[in-house]
A and B are shown apart, each in its own frame.
Chain A
Amino acid sequence: MQRILKVAKREYIETAKTKTFIIGILMTPIIIGAIIFFTKAVSGGKAGPRPPINVAVTDLSKTLVEDIKTSFDDYNKRNPDRQFLLRSLEVQHDANSTEAQGKDKLRNGQFDVYVVLEEDIIEGPGKIRFYTYKPKPANVDAFWTIENFFRKAVENRRYEIEKIDQKLLARLRNVPLERLEIGAAGDKEKVQSQGQRIAGMMVPFFFMYLIFMGMVGTGQHMLSSIIEEKNSRIIEVLLSAVSPFQLMAGKILGLAGIGLTVMALWSAAAFAAARWQGLNVDVGSDLIVYFIIYYILGYILVSAILTGIGSVCNTIKETQSLMMPVMLIFIIPLMGWFKLVQSPNGTLARVLSFVPPVTPMVMVLRLSAGSGVWFVEIAVSILVLAVAVLIVIWAAAKIFRTGILMYGKKPGIFEILRWLRQS
């Protein structure tokens, strides 16, 4: 044990001194901060000028063109450098040939948008047909605005026919609501801002991301540490003092320290940032306990896999091809976190809870999303994870033992399976 600790200590100190580590620990919060800052800055900024968009309409109901024109004119007055040019394409012989003609003009670029309002649009089941041809991404927003003008025109006509007073409607619809978050009895009640709600959504993601970085982010250090010892032929010198298992355990332990350092610093930074923004983020103490359990098990699992991978490779480049399948598994919770937060007890969430490498991420996400995950599920998921950890450590120790002394050609899968069968 003494030796494992000594190995761990060196691993921790030497890793903490590397540039990759220092840049990594600083860059992630800086990048996240920058993204938030720029998103805010961009959403507040004014839209720039845009070339006029040609809109043609064939109104088969023959009643709406004037209304639509009015709304277009209003818009154009307000936005002199972002014009919509509306023209009407009248029916010449029959509706079908006119529509075909309109589509042709759309294709040859005379129109940007061609809209057909069906005859029974107002009172019947008719549709608005909104044609575009190879739309530019920059115009998507404008198309949305145009769609709304047409919709609104139909809607307004319907109110008129049904004799509904729009002012009355607006008054009826307006139900004021104030979101208040109460603290302890003596505290002042705080008005809950939109940010607070979003922050509430982000907490589970933050915890999941933290676990992910804690498990996988240290992986790069693990791989480069093993590759360095292999390439500079230090491994066997180390094995003169420690057993392969002690060496592996020391590495895992030392880098666990690195992972915990990163998580502690990021948590502190996130907490401070939330406080600074006036957001109140409450995290239950039981969540912290589960977080630690899941992190430790998940971390050991992933780093044992990585020691196995690192030991059979000679260069960082070689490790990357083996890392791919491992990383792919983690994509699922990272991409689907929003869905998982909203239905923490859905099938996807439940299934992923028992897939060992992602168990920690998914379970922490579900628990921090905070609606009744069964205790049995927690217990079983921890059990499954623990069993997986034991199996992986057993296999990794065998691969590590043989792999670290192999130089040159990377062993194939069958050769590795043979190592596993050896005593």
Chain B
Amino acid sequence: MSNMNAVLLDNVCKSFGRLQAVDNLSVRVPAGSVYGFLGPNGAGKTTTIRMMMNIIRPDSGRIEILGDGKIEQVKARIGYMPEERGLYRKMTARKVLKYFGAIKGVSDRELVERVPRWLERVELADWVDKKVEELSRGMHQKLQFVVTVINEPELVILDEPFSGLDPLNQDLLKNIIIQMRNEGKTIIFSTHVMHEAEKLCDYILLINKGKLILDDTLKNVRSRQSAHTVSIELEGDAAFVESLPMVTAVKSEGNRLDVTLADDDTQQFLQALMQQARVKAFEVKVPSLHEIFVSLVAPSGVQGSASDAEDS
């Protein structure tokens, strides 16, 4: 299981009219990992996910899900939460879950046990016989998530799962995702909010305008971006720092100084400091995903000029 690819995309292309939504994309999602699809609005995330679910068909290229090229046959083993999501407003939470469970091939007997268990898990147990239209937006989203995982799938695909959730419920959802990963399940989720990905992902896939920009483990992504910024705290006068040869900029952050270096030789910088002052704190700043994202995407323009690709 662990050496299998949960999802395999091979040179996949898709265009809508003149818009190239996905451009020659190849991705392997290893089983048992948490994979983040990142990109600005209109990058082609939703289109890619929809192709993985056989909701739209690629113009060219090959897609295999859970080792099978015929996606319809493995849908029962997938939990997919689309970006455009909703539920039957006139049905009760229980009936909605029973229906979606049933069309995902879960037996009635299993559903009797699963429905209350999952509702308990997302703190909706008291709402089991309430109609969907009586639920608040946050509850609605949690119920939507339970609908997605009611078939206890091997592969969970979540398109913008955190939108519409308050911080408390976001944490609830993150904990469930981590738990599922620990159970050996594969989770793919798309987001354009970077700190969510940073906390959860093993792998990062960054796309922009349908093209792959980055596809690696989170660790590699971070280490590949060389660290040029160091946060320091010194005893006494720190004015000399600015005149050191390797320093290009100094910014004061309260007691600390954020120092930008000309290269990534932080050891040499530390030595230079130690010769002139007592060092109270010295921290090489790992660039945040947000910074990486901006540095990779920004030059070509983040503005959502192609944002309609997500909708079509």
Q: Which residues of A contact B79 (CB under 8 A)?
A: 240
Q: How many residues does chain B have at the interface if contact means C-beta atoms less than 8 Å apart?
A: 34
Q: Contact between B88 and A240 (Cβ–Cβ < 8 Å)? A: no
Query: Once the chains are docked, how many angstroms separate the CA of A292 from the CA of B78?
Result: 40
A241 with B91: in contact, given A232-B86, A234-B86, A406-B312 (CB under 8 Å)? no
1/0 per residue, CB under 8 A from B, across A1-40: the answer is 0110011001000100000000000000000000000000
A407 within 8 A of B: yes
Q: Which positions 196-243 of chain A face chain B at CB distance < 8 Å?
A: 228, 232-243
Q: Which residues of A contact B84 (CB under 8 A)?
A: 233, 235-236, 407
Query: Once the chains are docked, how many angstroms separate the CA of A237 from the CA of B53?
Result: 11
- Smallest CB-CB separation from B53: which chain A residue? A240
Q: Which positions 237-252 of chain A face chain B at CB distance < 8 Å?
A: 237-244
Query: Once the chains are docked, how many angstroms separate the CA of A21 from the CA of B157?
Result: 38
CB distance from B42 to the nearest CB of A (A): 16
Q: Which of A242, A405, A423 contacts B103 (CB 8 A)?
A: A242
Q: Contact between A14 and B91 (Cβ–Cβ < 8 Å)? A: yes
Q: Contact between B82 and A236 (Cβ–Cβ < 8 Å)? A: yes
Q: Contact between A240 and B82 (Cβ–Cβ < 8 Å)? A: yes
1/0 per residue, CB under 8 A from B, across A367-408: the answer is 000000000000000000000000000000000000001111
A232 with B87: in contact, given A240-B75, A240-B78, A405-B55 (CB under 8 Å)? yes
Q: Which of B89, B91, B105, B147 contacts A2 (CB 8 A)?
A: B105
B90 within 8 A of A: yes
CB distance from B158 to the nearest CB of A (A): 11
Q: Which positions 319-339 of chain A face chain B at CB distance < 8 Å?
A: none
Q: Which residues of A contact B78 (CB under 8 A)?
A: 240
CB distance from A418 to the nearest CB of B (A): 9
- Smallest CB-CB separation from B144: which chain A residue? A237
Query: Once the chains are docked, how many angstroms separate the CA of A407 from the CA of B56?
Result: 15
Q: Which residues of A contact B82 (CB under 8 A)?
A: 233, 236-237, 239-240
Q: Which positions 34-88 of chain B face chain A at CB distance < 8 Å?
A: 50, 53-57, 72, 75-76, 78-82, 84-88
1/0 per residue, CB under 8 A from B, across A289-304: the answer is 0000000000000000
Query: Once the chains are docked, how many angstroms separate the CA of A241 from the CA of B311?
Result: 21
- Smallest CB-CB separation from A242: which chain B residue? B103
Q: Contact between B99 and A6 (Cβ–Cβ < 8 Å)? A: yes
Query: Once the chains are docked, how many angstroms separate the CA of A236 from the CA of B104?
Result: 14
Query: Once the chains are docked, how many angstroms separate the CA of A414 from the CA of B78?
Result: 36
Q: Contact between B89 and A237 (Cβ–Cβ < 8 Å)? A: no
Query: Once the chains are docked, how many angstroms separate the CA of A1 from the CA of B298?
Result: 49
Q: Which residues of A contact B86 (CB under 8 A)?
A: 232-234, 237
Query: Once the chains are docked, how many angstroms separate the CA of A196 from the CA of B93?
Result: 54
Query: Once the chains are docked, how many angstroms separate the CA of A242 from the CA of B57?
Result: 15
A234 with B55: in contact, given A241-B103, A243-B72 (CB under 8 Å)? no
A6 with B102: in contact, given A239-B55, A243-B72 (CB under 8 Å)? yes
A236 with B55: in contact, given A2-B105, A3-B105 (CB under 8 Å)? yes
- Smallest CB-CB separation from B87: which chain A residue? A234
Q: Which residues of A contact B151 (CB under 8 A)?
A: 241
Query: Once the chains are docked, how many angstroms separate the CA of A254 from the CA of B214?
Result: 47
- Smallest CB-CB separation from B100: which chain A residue? A241
Q: Contact between B87 and A7 (Cβ–Cβ < 8 Å)? A: no
A-B contact count (CB 8 A): 72
CB distance from A2 to the nearest CB of B (A): 7
Max chain B C-beta neighbours (<10 A), residue from A10, A228, A243: A10
B190 within 8 A of A: no
Max chain A C-beta neighbours (<10 A), residue from B55, B102, B103: B103
Q: Which residues of B contact A240 (CB under 8 A)?
A: 53, 75, 78-82, 104, 148
A242 with B311: in contact, given A10-B99, A236-B85, A237-B144 (CB under 8 Å)? no
Max chain A C-beta neighbours (<10 A), residue from B76, B88, B90: B88
1/0 per residue, CB under 8 A from A, across B140-165: the answer is 00001001100100000000000000
Q: Which secondary structure characterizes the binding site on chain B? A: loop
Query: Once the chains are docked, how many angstroms separate the CA of A236 from the CA of B87?
Result: 10
Q: How many residues does chain A have at the interface if contact means C-beta atoms less than 8 Å apart?
A: 25
Query: Once the chains are docked, how many angstroms separate the CA of A413 from the CA of B68?
Result: 36
Q: Contact between A14 and B88 (Cβ–Cβ < 8 Å)? A: yes
Q: Which residues of A contact B80 (CB under 8 A)?
A: 240
Q: Which residues of B contact A239 (CB under 8 A)?
A: 53, 55, 82
CB distance from A187 to the nearest CB of B (A): 53
Query: Once the chains are docked, how many angstroms separate the CA of A237 from the CA of B55?
Result: 11
CB distance from A41 to the nearest CB of B (A): 42
Query: Once the chains are docked, how many angstroms separate the CA of A203 from the CA of B104?
Result: 46
Query: Once the chains are docked, how many angstroms separate the CA of A243 from the CA of B81?
Result: 15
Q: Which residues of A contact B311 (CB under 8 A)?
A: 407-408
Q: Contact between A241 and B104 (Cβ–Cβ < 8 Å)? A: yes
Query: Once the chains are docked, how many angstroms separate the CA of A6 from the CA of B151?
Result: 15
Q: Which residues of B contact A406 (CB under 8 A)?
A: 312
Query: Once the chains are docked, how many angstroms separate the CA of A232 from the CA of B103?
Result: 19
Q: Which residues of B contact A2 (CB under 8 A)?
A: 105
CB distance from A398 to the nearest CB of B (A): 11
Q: Which residues of B contact A241 (CB under 8 A)?
A: 75-76, 100, 103-104, 151
- Smallest CB-CB separation from B75: which chain A residue? A241
Q: Which residues of A contact B144 (CB under 8 A)?
A: 237
CB distance from A348 to the nearest CB of B (A): 45
- Smallest CB-CB separation from A404: which chain B residue? B55
Query: Once the chains are docked, how many angstroms separate the CA of A240 from the CA of B84?
Result: 12
CB distance from B145 to the nearest CB of A (A): 11
Query: Once the chains are docked, how many angstroms separate the CA of A239 from the CA of B80?
Result: 9
Query: Once the chains are docked, how many angstroms separate the CA of A235 from the CA of B85?
Result: 8
Q: Contact between B88 and A423 (Cβ–Cβ < 8 Å)? A: no
CB distance from B134 to the nearest CB of A (A): 14
Q: Contact between A238 and B87 (Cβ–Cβ < 8 Å)? A: no
CB distance from B298 to the nearest CB of A (A): 30
Q: Which residues of A contact B91 (CB under 8 A)?
A: 14
Beyond A240-B79, A240-B148, A241-B76, 5 additional contacts (C-beta under 8 Å) are A2-B105, A232-B87, A236-B55, A236-B85, A241-B100
What are 22 A-B contacts with C-beta separation under 8 Å? Answer: A3-B105, A6-B102, A6-B103, A14-B88, A232-B86, A232-B87, A232-B89, A233-B85, A234-B88, A236-B50, A236-B55, A236-B82, A237-B82, A237-B86, A237-B144, A239-B55, A240-B79, A240-B104, A241-B75, A243-B54, A405-B312, A406-B312
Please report B residues at the A interface, Cβ cutoff 8 Å: 50, 53-57, 72, 75-76, 78-82, 84-91, 99-100, 102-105, 144, 147-148, 151, 311-312
Please report A residues at the B interface, Cβ cutoff 8 Å: 2-3, 6-7, 10, 14, 228, 232-244, 405-408, 423
The 9 lowest CB-CB distance pairs between A and B, nearest first, are A233-B86, A240-B80, A236-B82, A232-B86, A241-B103, A233-B84, A241-B104, A6-B102, A6-B103
